[in-house]
Each structure stands twice: as structure tokens, then as C-alpha cells.
């Protein structure tokens, strides 16, 4: 019996754990993420533990079992494939795809996922630059770091965004910054770390440190000084 709510719990644990690998995933974290209350989550954790999908104790928090991890990665796979399909095939914007994919990810038809994955050309990354796990749950590797860690003069390419909110994505779209765009860090304000960037066709934009932390990049020059 694998309901979409159960899928959401497992996915939440996966997301929270991969977001910050150092901290434990607490009932409160999950509750906040899923917009539920801690007792509700705790109750469900008990059930997931009994089903062997999760382990939990208050010190280590919730962790996915191998079985639970497999289920979670499968949902993540479906989510990111749908996002890519919506983006590339159905011309939705990268700020719209997440919400619809939240629903589509629970449609249970392996053949359908396979079909749309073929249609979009079996890509490794979704419209936000997030890796698409393969059927075995293996994630394609990619080497990336936040734009906020760049030093002056660094030329880098945008490989992803860590935040998926419409607000943030529309903000980037307004700045005319997209996936795979190249950026040059012209200046870094030493007071508040605001970045002056030059982007496509030498447009210059200012970006807060807060925003820069959410943008994942890779240096373009092989021996760039940003580590």
C-alpha cells in the first residue's frame, strides 16, 4: 500500500537529508517541510519504521532505509523527468514546472515515465539543474558550488539553482539569467558581498549574496582561482 502521502514523507526525508547532510532530519523539520504538525509526522514515522522504510530515534533523526531510499529516489526521478518534460516539451517556464510535477510524480506508470523520458532525450539534469536518478537510483555526477563562493574575476557557468520558489526563479528570469549561461564576477562588494556580474551580451547585473548562494556554478577556466 504505497499512497502518495507516504511517497511524500519519504521524498521529504530524502530532500531534507540531501539539502544539509550534516544535520539530522527531525520530526519538526519534516512537519515544517510538509506543512504538517510534529505529532502527525511522528505517528507516520512509526508506521514507516514498522514497514522497514525508515529508521528513527530522536538523536539520529529519521533516515531512509535502503528500501526507503529506493522508493524516494524513484519519486525524485519521476518528479525531475516530469519537470523536464513540462519544460522542454510543453513549454512551461522553469518556475511553473515544480508545482505540476508535484502532482504528476505520483502517477504510477513506469511505461509512461519511460516514454516521456525518451521523448526529452534521456537528459541527466532537470530544468533547475538537479540530477535525474537512473532507474537504479544512481545520480549523475556534477561538480558545482554556489556562485557566492566565487572570487573576483571568476568566469563560471550556471549549472543549477538550489531554491525552486517561483519568486526566486522569476527574479532570475528578470535578470535574464538562465541555466547554462556564463557569468563573470566583475566585482564583489566587501561590505555586504553583493556581486556585480556581467552576463549574456555584457549586461551588467547586481546580485545579493543571498541570491548568489542559491545559484550553482562551475568555473569555466580549468585553473580558476576560486577553489
- Give me the sign of the Cα torsion angle 12, 15, 17, 23: negative
Q: Does 139 bind its own copies (CB under 8 A)?
A: no
Per-residue contact string for residues 17-56; x = within reach of DNA by CB under 7 A = ---------xxxx-----xxxxxx-xxx--x--------x
- In the complex with DNA, the residue whose CB is nearer, 42 or 205, is 42
Q: In this chain, which of 119, 151, 220, 225 binds its own copies, going by CB under 8 A?
A: 119
Judged by beta carbon distances under 5 to 8 A according to partner kind, the member of its own copies, DNA, Mn ion, none in contact with residue 98 is: Mn ion
Phi and psi of 196, rounded to 5°?
-105, 120
Nearer CB in complex with DNA: 42/112: 42
Q: Does 96 bind its own copies (CB under 8 A)?
A: yes
220 binds its own copies (CB under 8 A): no
* Contact (Cβ atoms closer than 8 angstroms) between residue 157 and residue 182: yes
Query: By the 8 A CB rule, do 184 and 197 touch?
Result: yes
Place of cell 519519486: 75
Considering the complex, state which of residue 42 and residue 157 has its C-beta at the smaller distance from DNA: 42
- β-partners of residue 185 are 197
Could you tell me which residues are beta bridge partners of residue 205? 197
53-82: contacts with DNA (CB under 7 A): 56-59, 61
Kindly state the helix (H) or strand (E) to which residue 218 belongs, with its residue range: strand 215-219
**Cell (9 digits) for 2:** 504505497
Our CB check for DNA shows the closer of 26 and 218 to be 26
105 secondary structure, DSSP code: T
Q: Is 115 left (phi over 0), alpha (psi -120 to 50) or beta?
A: alpha
Give the residues lining the site for DNA (CB under 7 A). Answer: 1, 3, 5-6, 26-29, 35-40, 42-44, 47, 56-59, 61
Give the residues lining the site for its own copies (CB under 8 A). Answer: 86, 90-92, 96, 99-100, 103-104, 107-109, 111-112, 115-116, 119
Amino acid at each position: 500500500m504505497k499512497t502518495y502521502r507516504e511517497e511524500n514523507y519519504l521524498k521529504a526525508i530524502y530532500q531534507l537529508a540531501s539539502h544539509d547532510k550534516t544535520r539530522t532530519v527531525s520530526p519538526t523539520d519534516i512537519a515544517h517541510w510538509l506543512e504538517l504538525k510534529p505529532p502527525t509526522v511522528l505517528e507516520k514515522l512509526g508506521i514507516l519504521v514498522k514497514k522497514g522504510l525508515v529508521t528513527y530515534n530522536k538523536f539520529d533523526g529519521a533516515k531512509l532505509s535502503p528500501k526507503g531510499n529506493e522508493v524516494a529516489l524513484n519519486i525524485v526521478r519521476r518528479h525531475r523527468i516530469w519537470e523536464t518534460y513540462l519544460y522542454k516539451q510543453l513549454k512551461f517556464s522553469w518556475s511553473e514546472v515544480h508545482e505540476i510535477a508535484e502532482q504528476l510524480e505520483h502517477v504510477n506508470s513506469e511505461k509512461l515515465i519511460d516514454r516521456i523520458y525518451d521523448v526529452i532525450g534521456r537528459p541527466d539534469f532537470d530544468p533547475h539543474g538537479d540530477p535525474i536518478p537512473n532507474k537504479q537510483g544512481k545520480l549523475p555526477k556534477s561538480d558545482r558550488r554556489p556562485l557566492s563562493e566565487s572570487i573576483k574575476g571568476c568566469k563560471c557557468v550556471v549549472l543549477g539553482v538550489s531554491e525552486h520558489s517561483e519568486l526566486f526563479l522569476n527574479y532570475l528570469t528578470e535578470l535574464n539569467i538562465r541555466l547554462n549561461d556564463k557569468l563573470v564576477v566583475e566585482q564583489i562588494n566587501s561590505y555586504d558581498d553583493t556581486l556585480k556580474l556581467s552576463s549574456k551580451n555584457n549586461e551588467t547585473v547586481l546580485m545579493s549574496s543571498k541570491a548568489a548562494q542559491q545559484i550553482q556554478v562551475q568555473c569555466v577556466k580549468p585553473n580558476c582561482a576560486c577553489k
